[in-house]
Structure 1
Amino acid sequence: MNNSTVNFTTPESSTTYSFGLFDIMEMYAHSISFLFGLPTNFYVLWLIITGTESGVASMFFQLNLSVCEIGICVNSLFFIFAFWFSSLKTLVYFLIGLAITGRPLFQCLMCVERYLAVVHPVTFLKYKPLRYRVICSATAWIITLGSCFSSMFLPLNTIEQTWFFSVQFILFISIQLFCLVAVLRALKQSGPGERGRERKEENNMKRRAFHLILITTVNMVIIYAPYTVTGLFTIVTKQNIRALWSICLLCFLLLGFVQPLLFLYHAEKLSCLCSSKAM
């Protein structure tokens, strides 16, 4: 291990485990992800299923994203245990596909859905029934499952995984940026012959869609861009700097809370929690 190490010895087997400084940092980050991310995403899932917001149909992509996030949180627990039980590493590598492909893919679907609702409302109404969302989600899960199997055979921080990861990131971020710009243009334009109240309601809908896509896009950039840059840096310089990968992991795990907190904010659950603490 790089840097200073801390030795942990078990009395029963007298086995010494040597943890580096960055190993300990990553274990703390994964612990936070599991302890706080798991209940938060389960709460979001429960709110969607029980009919909070507009029901399961309109929040179907958010529901699938929450399931994906739960899998990522559980993988954080497996990551910690893998330090002692090496047999869990295969499962950890498999579930990495949820983080590499599942999370950005469902975030991208949410952005495309908001884009259609604002820019192409007729098309959105045509494909609004739940069955179309189920088809899109099933396709997304098949792609994610393929990514999970690929992650098992592509070791971490290698050239192959870096290119595999970078191509997906560029693709997803390009789609989100396109949706962001299109919604922004629609926000600046007002339809002819609209009444003041109707125009205001439509602008509010466009503004909410723009803010959601903007936050999701910025969140994706902060989460995945460091991994892409660090991976390309490693390929070009042939230097594998552990500190850079640890910083990438911290950004990935800690910013994973943005999406569920954004949902709770729109569901007006964060304000309830704040007011209850203030009382």
Structure 2
Amino acid sequence: MNNTAVNFTTPEASTDSITQSIGLLNSLEMCACSICFLFGLPTHSYVVWLIVTGTGSGVVSEFLNLNLSVCEIGNSISAVFVLLSYFSSLFKILTNFVQGLGVTGRPLFQCLMCVERYLAVVHPVTFLKFKPLRYRVICCSVAWIITLSSCLFCYFTLVSLNTKAYVWFFTTELLLFLSIQLFCLVAVLRALKQSGPGERKRERENENHMKKRAFYLILITTVNMIIQNVPFTITGFSIILTEQDLLDVWFPALLFYVLTGFVQPVLYLQRTGKLFCLCSS
């Protein structure tokens, strides 16, 4: 959904943007897409390299984060397609298809990471049962199938000029993902207030420290997802009610979406102690 402002506008408006002079909002959108590509691609590629090479907790425990970064690399590359679509209508086909990576891919993998932390804190026995890599592979495989299906849906709805169905689809989807994350946050908060009977003080302190760490990770991810998705949701409902599909309506939401894409890799780099290494390099 980074890069989607071009597709959120009506196809006639998108075609006109190719033949007419690029206005201020178009220039700002091109800047946002450039930031997404120039900073997003190396950052997420670095995260993928760190996970694959075994830095941090290893591939198994970071498997969801790995898939999220791969999805974000796809989002960064799709920004190039959006930029090229200003000068050639041939790239409109690619930009229509890759919408699913932003509409479904990023929030879905973020949601899976939140559910994983929820299980680790609230249902640790269940978490240990499904901790092996094969269960994560199954979940991510299903997530990628859903994401690719979303890509196909976005492509056909945008090609058929059914913008209203497209807006309803991603708005409902974002509300669903956000509701799941809020549920996980509240459940973890309640778990923090409880301690097992007969536990020693030092054991309780260690357990509470781990729970608080998981809670803050879920909290940051949830706040990030609220900033990322709520503007798009509000804009989507406003488009449905007013039936006005203009670039100036979508641009603020697009800007929030691009900027929030850097939160998750920064958290990982900070956790592995590689953040300053990236900045120095």
Name the CA distance, whole Å, in 2 between partners of 1:42 and 1:153.
Answer: 30
Of residues 96, 99, 108, the one that matches 2:99 is 96
* Counterpart for residue 126 of structure 2: 123
1:134 positional shift? 0.3
Name the CA distance, whole Å, in 2 between partners of 1:96 and 1:249.
Answer: 13
Name the CA distance, whole Å, in 2 between partners of 1:211 and 1:145.
Answer: 31
Task: Report the AA paired with residue 75 of structure 1.
Answer: S
Task: Report the AA paired with residue 67 of structure 2.
Answer: N
Whether contact under 8 Å (2:81, 2:91) holds in the other structure is: yes
1:78-110: per-residue Cα shift (whole Å, max 9, x none)?
110111121111111111100000000000000
* Counterpart for residue 187 of structure 1: 192
Name the CA distance, whole Å, in 2 between partners of 1:167 and 1:102.
Answer: 15
1:40 aligns with 2:43: yes
* Counterpart for residue 200 of structure 1: 205
Name the CA distance, whole Å, in 2 between partners of 1:148 and 1:111.
Answer: 23
1:154 aligns with 2:154: no
RMSD over aligned Cα atoms: 2.0
1:158-180: per-residue Cα shift (whole Å, max 9, x none)?
21111101111111111111110
Give the count of matched residue pairs: 264
More contact order relative to length (CA 8 Å, sep ≥ 6): 2
Whether contact under 8 Å (2:175, 2:233) holds in the other structure is: no
1:124–1:236 CA distance, 2 compared to 1 (3 A): same
| Greater share of strand | 1
Of residues 242, 258, 268, the one that matches 1:263 is 268
1:106 aligns with 2:106: no
The 10-residue stretch of structure 1 (99-108 or 264-273) with the greater mean CA deviation from structure 2: 264-273
* Counterpart for residue 245 of structure 1: 250
The 10-residue stretch of structure 1 (150-159 or 107-116) with the greater mean CA deviation from structure 2: 150-159
1:199-231: per-residue Cα shift (whole Å, max 9, x none)?
122111111111111111111111111111111
Name the CA distance, whole Å, in 2 between partners of 1:37 and 1:197.
Answer: 42
* Counterpart for residue 234 of structure 1: 239
1:239 positional shift? 2.6
Of residues 59, 62, 72, the one that matches 1:59 is 62
1:223–1:157 CA distance, 2 compared to 1 (3 A): farther
- TM-score normalized with structure 2 length: 0.89
Name the CA distance, whole Å, in 2 between partners of 1:16 and 1:188.
Answer: 60
Structure showing greater radius of gyration is 1
Q: Which secondary structure does the structure 1 equivalent of 2:262 belong to? A: helix
Task: Report the AA paired with residue 52 of structure 1.
Answer: T
1:17 positional shift? 5.2
Whether contact under 8 Å (1:157, 1:231) holds in the other structure is: no
Name the CA distance, whole Å, in 2 between partners of 1:56 and 1:157.
Answer: 41
Percent identical pairs in the alignment equals 62
Task: Report the AA paired with residue 249 of structure 1.
Answer: L
For structure 2, the 5+ residue unaligned runs are: 1-5, 10-17
Name the CA distance, whole Å, in 2 between partners of 1:96 and 1:235.
Answer: 19
Q: Which secondary structure does the structure 2 equivalent of 1:154 belong to? A: helix
Name the CA distance, whole Å, in 2 between partners of 1:45 and 1:273.
Answer: 13
Of residues 137, 140, 162, the one that matches 1:137 is 140
The 10-residue stretch of structure 1 (203-212 or 143-152) with the greater mean CA deviation from structure 2: 203-212
- TM-score normalized with structure 1 length: 0.90
Name the CA distance, whole Å, in 1 between partners of 2:266 and 2:78.
Answer: 20
* Counterpart for residue 15 of structure 2: none
1:241 positional shift? 4.0
